[in-house]
Homo-oligomer: A and B are copies of this chain.
Amino acid sequence: MPLTETQWSPTEEKIVKTAFDTAYRREVASMMAEVKRQAEAATSPDELWKLHDFLSARRHYLDGKYDSRDSMLIFVFAQLVKEGWLEIGELAGLSPDKIAKVKALTLV
């Protein structure tokens, strides 16, 4: 195991899971609102296929983005904070160095 790998305590793992699920739920809720809007407005086959393309792209994007491997979490959290799906305060309870890393990455 490389020395640089981030270690997560059992308490931190619970915080991670909650934060991950919260951000995912928010992002999907936003996407769901857009899907409902597009579906309601659709009047032609082309608009249906556009909705299909939108769903395909978002599903693929979310599958790749919500990468729950330990080594990726800091990066994923930083992205979620930058995009507004998560607040840094919702990571409270993680070790100060992890919080600092997430904060630093939100600035780049």
Contact = CB atoms under 8 A, between A and B. Distances in A.
Interface of A: 24, 28, 31-32, 35-36, 38-40, 42, 45, 48-49, 51-52, 55-56, 59
Given A36-B42, A39-B36, A28 B55 contact: no
A39 B28 contact: no
Nearest to A45: B28
5 contacts: A32-B42, A32-B48, A35-B39, A39-B39, A39-B40
A36 B32 contact: no
B51 A55 contact: yes
Given A36-B40, A39-B36, A40-B36, A52 B45 contact: no
